[in-house]
Amino acid sequence: MRPAFTVQASDGAARAGRLVTAHGVVETPAFMPVGTYGTVKAMTPEELEGLGAQIILGNTFHLMLRPGPTIVAAHGGLHRFMHWQHPILTDSGGFQVFSLKSLRRITEEGVRFRSPLDGREVRLTPEDSMDVQLALRSDIAMALDDCTGHPATESEARESMERSMRWAARSHAHYYRADAPGGLFGIVQGGMHAALRLASLEALLRLDWPGLAVGGLAVGESEEERLAVLESLLPHMPAGLPRYLMGVGRPQDIVAAVMRGIDLFDCVMPTRHARNGHLFTSTGVMNIRNSVYRDDLSPVDAACDCYTCRNYSRAYLRHLDRCNEILGSRLNTIHNLHFYMGLMRSLRATIAAGDLAAWARGFLTGRRAADAVA
């Protein structure tokens, strides 16, 4: 089923919408917890449902290497393989290949790289990426792109962007060559160069996509550079398509992007921070490993009603972390994902009420100094 998107309310450039897929509806703005290997680390699907997760992200690159698309396809797709019967978006593998740096070689054909598991050479072309994602049967697949590094000259960014556009056309043709289980999103590239971003968008719009993503951000650029890209690009993106900002995950960055018109987000931050003892709270980020919490009997956040905050103290969570107990990672993850799901609910509600600017002003002011640890 091809995903369908409708905007139900707007407040300035921000939108609240509904993304309908074969496995259910996603209310936007929405955050997708990352399930790299077919699991959101430390969480069962039932726990994710209870926290309010509507859609999760699976990683094509890692699932291609292990366990391989054949095994997932034998289960009927990723939904059944991991026991998650709600929407799934799979990335294309482009960012993971980008992160390999010295282990990869990019050509017009695609990418050849050394597997981080066993060192064998692996090929990933646009057609390969589509075949894997079709086997995973995700609701939303992503075109393979050449993620532009940072910093990049105009010439370097242009070469990378134009390659991504050729790969996008190949991805589109291969994904839709027969009945597809979902829909394929295109990815706008172009680095920090506004003219290249618009040229990328123009090239993508020659094809029919049910959604578009903004890629090549969260790669080391400053906040000012990232916002400049969004402000120059988003007014030109089709209003009737969902807009996905890939890999951006700090709460204040999500709020700023929603205010400029972004609908979907993903990031490993809430789960990775949880495993490293960093907990998101209404007043900032808390490092539970600090010795000041050794005898602290209070919950992580008195304003939070998650399972962790209702039942456990800061002292206990610090104790679990110091003992490297699995329960510590689980409780921290429950708290952080509860925070993120609550943030997205607040954004949807304030957009619908027309109160986003005032709410965001208070939220962003309160976090600028407090989130320095993130």
How far apart are the C-alpha atoms of 195 and 345, rounded to whole Å?
34
- Count Cα atoms within 13 angstroms, Cβ side, for 30: 24
Q: Which of 11, 263, 266, 301 is catalytic?
A: 266
Write the single-letter amino acid at 44.
Answer: T
| Sign of the Cα pseudo-torsion (106, 111, 115, 120, in order) | negative
Residues 187, 213 contacting (CB under 8 angstroms): yes
The residue count for the chain: 374
Catalytic annotation present for 296: no
Q: Which two tokens stand for residue 222?
A: 């400053």
Respond yes or no: is residue 118 known to be catalytic: no
CB atoms under 10 Å from CB of 253, counted, come to 23
Per the residue annotation, which of 91, 253, 263, 321 is the catalytic one? 91
User: What is the DSSP track for 83-103?
Assistant: T--S-EEE--SHHHHHHHGGG
Cα–Cα dist 117/145, whole Å: 23
Whether the Cβ atoms of residue 23 and residue 86 lie closer than 8 Å to each other: yes
CA gap 269, 303 in Å, rounded: 21
CB of 209 closer than 8 Å to CB of 223: no
Q: Which residues contact 136 (CB under 8 A, 6 or more apart)?
A: 58, 60, 63, 69, 72, 73, 77, 78, 88, 90
93 neighbors 82 (Cβ within 8 angstroms): no
Provide the sign of the torsion angle of the four alpha carbons 104, 105, 106, 110, taken in this order: negative
16 contacts 8 by C-beta, under 8 angstroms = yes
- Would you tell me the crossing angle of helices 194-204 and 223-233 to the nearest 10 degrees? 40
Catalytic positions, written as ranges: 91, 266
